[in-house]
Structure 1
Amino acid sequence: MEIDLKRDLPTYEQQRDFYEKLRLRISDFLSTKSGKKSKLAPYLLFAPDLFHLLIKAMLDNRIDIKSKTLIGSGILYFISPIDLLPEGLIGPGGFIDDIIVATFIINMLLNKFSPEIIEKHWVGDMKLLDALKKISETSNTLLGKIPARSLLSRFIKKSTKNA
């Protein structure tokens, strides 16, 4: 299978539609009985906001190509139907691994660039740094619940050593 890397990014309307559909899907899940009982509920609505931030950061000309490669990897992880916790099989709870990967990438960007550059692209209800802190504080607990956690943990450790 060949991937066309020269293809244009989706239009602003298509990106907005994806963001709104993702947010609506997660909100609908959270309004169900099982969604209300989910311990992951406070984190799931970060998924569309983190995805939006990655897309906007990809278009920011102040961010270098090497960092955009990392950002692109995060975007691909979000949209790929094959990941550690596939949303198609387990529903919105499958976004937890996407949230963890996006948080890792955004933390890497914050270590390299001024927070103002990254925060400019944040559309979440909570301040970006507060949201990342909340996710980071519980990521070890969340990683412990992921069946393939050792694989993800190794990826995160290896990536932080190479950064």
Structure 2
Amino acid sequence: MTDYELKHDLPTIKTQQDFYEKLRGKITSFLESKSGSASKYSSYLLFAPDLFYLLTKSILDNRIDGKSKALIGSGILYFIAPIDVIPEGLIGPGGFIDDIIVATFVVNTLVNKFSPEVLEEHWLGDEKLLDVLKKISKSSDGLLAKLPARSLLGMFLKKSK
């Protein structure tokens, strides 16, 4: 296995936790403001910080090989990219839906390659990781069918399998 060297120090644990809590707070505020008009996918938005945290911790896990870390890195980059299929900058936290779908694909790929326990060590969600993955995977097909850019995202997910 190849060792990777970081060019910059990682943020402190406190900074990482603050970012996680800030993101959850923004999503919670968004959901509360949309209480009457929230879609059935609103409950999935709170998985965004949990999945992002899981990806960022997994990329540092020395039990995960370099090729898998490249896939994880792609998932992290999709989260932080300013332009994606549903940009957060234009529609707020609702824009995390596509990020959640991509992250779920990445995590499902890792679960199929590694023991789920490896990833569960990095999971902060309230529900069990495998239950969340099943729930998101089951709903993502229906959501993809409603997206205007569905064909683009669908092609990406099919080619990546």
TM-score (norm 2): 0.91
- Local SS of the residue matching 2:20: helix
Give the Cα separation in 2 of the matches to 1:89 and 1:35: 21
Tell me if the contact between 1:35 and 1:41 (Cα under 8 Å) persists in the aligned partners.
Answer: no
Instruction: Indicate the structure with greater helix content.
Output: 1
Give the Cα separation in 1 of the matches to 2:74 and 2:156: 13
Tell me if the contact between 1:23 and 1:45 (Cα under 8 Å) persists in the aligned partners.
Answer: yes
Question: Residue type of the partner of 2:73?
Answer: G
1:112 alignment partner in structure 2: 113
Question: Residue type of the partner of 1:6?
Answer: K
Deviations 1:33-53, CA, capped at 9 Å, x for gaps: 357522221100000000010
Given the alignment of the two structures, is residue 29 of structure 1 paired with residue 30 of structure 2, yes or no?
Answer: yes
Deviations 1:52-81, CA, capped at 9 Å, x for gaps: 100110111100111111101111111111
Tell me if the contact between 1:70 and 1:105 (Cα under 8 Å) persists in the aligned partners.
Answer: yes
Deviations 1:110-137, CA, capped at 9 Å, x for gaps: 0110111011111101100000000001
Aligned length: 156
1:69 alignment partner in structure 2: 70
2:159 alignment partner in structure 1: 158
- Local SS of the residue matching 2:7: coil
1:51 alignment partner in structure 2: 52
Question: Residue type of the partner of 2:127?
Answer: M
Identity %: 71
Give the Cα separation in 2 of the matches to 1:51 and 1:137: 20
Structure 1: gaps spanning 5 or more residues: none
1:130 alignment partner in structure 2: 131
Give the Cα separation in 2 of the matches to 1:115 and 1:66: 18
After superposing on structure 2, the runs of 4+ consecutive aligned residues of structure 1 that deviate more than 4 Å are: none
Q: Quick check: 132-141 or 38-47, which moved more?
A: 38-47
* CA 1:37–1:95: 2 relative to 1, 3 Å: same
Give the Cα separation in 1 of the matches to 2:13 and 2:83: 25
Tell me if the contact between 1:50 and 1:99 (Cα under 8 Å) persists in the aligned partners.
Answer: yes
- Local SS of the residue matching 1:31: helix
Tell me if the contact between 1:44 and 1:93 (Cα under 8 Å) persists in the aligned partners.
Answer: yes
Question: Residue type of the partner of 1:138?
Answer: S
Give the Cα separation in 2 of the matches to 1:35 and 1:47: 21
Deviations 1:54-109, CA, capped at 9 Å, x for gaps: 01101111001111111011111111111111101011110000000000000000
Q: Quick check: 136-145 or 7-16, which moved more?
A: 7-16
- Local SS of the residue matching 2:86: coil
RMSD of Structure 2 on Structure 1 (CA): 1.4
Give the Cα separation in 2 of the matches to 1:7 and 1:28: 32
